[in-house]
A and B are shown apart, each in its own frame.
Chain A
């Protein structure tokens, strides 16, 4: 193939028309709509599959969904999850049909890489990655999210399937 080299005209070689065109271009941009988002006041619009901080959820009856199977702890690539299995509270309603519940569930947010594998592996749909991305704290201890905090962040999960109801 023959590549044609354009012959530069006198005006091209003068370079000035191009500069003026460029200046006209930048001038036109001044009144345009700005792309900047005023972050803390104006939240970012996140996509549906955005993976933020992991949280624990309760079911519609207010029960902790986690049954401390420890799959998430096992699968967690950065070893951010530590799970302490325990017995469910004795005065829990009998229809809950679940015996185990984590005594404590710790996610080290300084280690978490937001990969979502815990959510993926969970057989009980008890852990989810929410859209919160600004996980901050003044100390390392503050960034160890314990069970209470995780449940508070998670709230109630309105799952259409209530697996243990029909057992």
Chain B
């Protein structure tokens, strides 16, 4: 009996690992696809529609092309780090995916692969590694544009990472937990945090644009200024890994936003506002989570094709002179409100 439960637990872990891999590698290419379609529509174009049914096979054709290209390593790079860098960009995204609460539970199986107590801290500790990947790529490429890209990425990191942390402190003060599942449960019971902490949500969103290196904060890449930034010297599958990493990071950022501010898998009415008791509610929870994530992904794409890139010094000024004080102010307000309510 005891052994039986252990075996089931392992099977569940296996299923969830498989699900995360499959969903990541299925959603990420179609995020790229969606980006191409949406940007085309915004520019009054049609976008890719030839490969497969309505162009749906396009990402796989692109992947195949990258796969078949010669894996070329230039002579002037620092080889070990050069090869390590793409992995460091992609791996954190995949790792943090393990902490995301995809849903409440499917029957006896919980939908979180790693339900760690201080989950939020792990997400940021691991997530920050993707910046190391970019910096390392910029440095090991031993070439000027990647180097500038890498340096920019490092400078960007110190200006927004502080703000992310501080904007979330207010959340932790309110929910009294660092655990992502608990945060979702809190929101299921007390309403979405985006209504209670709009400023924190806004700051977090801006910082996520920076964290995922997307316009208007895509300084490490900045095609018009740095050709293509940190990944110039890369080709073939290594470039593919950077590309995949960028979009996987974007997906993680969207999931984080959904989990922390948009109520995760919950909807504010029964039976979706409590952990599932029957399997179809559990499945609906997963669908709700994915739908919300898709909406946030749309927001990411929408912003990228609307807002022009900031000037670099303007972004630093924004980070330190505006976002940072605002985050502190938000903590203060939260503390005062919580104190007056007599909670905490």
Contacts and interface: CB of A to CB of B under 8 A. Distances in A.
A140 interface: no
Interface residues of A, number: 15
A29 interface: yes
A35 B306 contact: no
A36 B46 contact: yes
A22 interface: yes
Binding site secondary structure of chain B: loop
A33 B44 contact: yes
Contacts of B44: 29, 32-36
A49 interface: no
15 contacts: A19-B307, A22-B306, A23-B303, A23-B306, A23-B307, A25-B306, A27-B302, A29-B44, A30-B41, A31-B41, A34-B46, A35-B44, A36-B44, A36-B45, A36-B46
Interface string A65-98: 0000000000000000000000000000000000
Interface in A14-63: 19, 22-23, 25-27, 29-36, 38
Contacts of A29: 41-44
A34 B45 contact: yes
Contacts of A19: 306-307
Contacts of B305: 26
Nearest to A33: B44
Nearest to A23: B306
A29 B307 CA distance: 15
Nearest to B42: A26
Nearest to B307: A19
Contact of A22 (B41, B43, B45, B307): B307
A27 B303 CA distance: 10
Contacts of B41: 29-31, 34
Interface in B301-325: 302-303, 305-307
A30 B42 contact: yes
Contacts of A34: 41, 44-46
A36 B37 CA distance: 13
Contacts of A35: 44-45
B226 interface: no
B194 interface: no
Contacts of A30: 38, 41-42
Contacts of B302: 23, 26-27
Contacts of B306: 19, 22-23, 25-26
Q: Which A-B residue pairs are the 9 nearest by beta carbons?
A: A36-B46, A30-B41, A26-B42, A26-B306, A22-B306, A23-B306, A29-B42, A36-B45, A34-B46
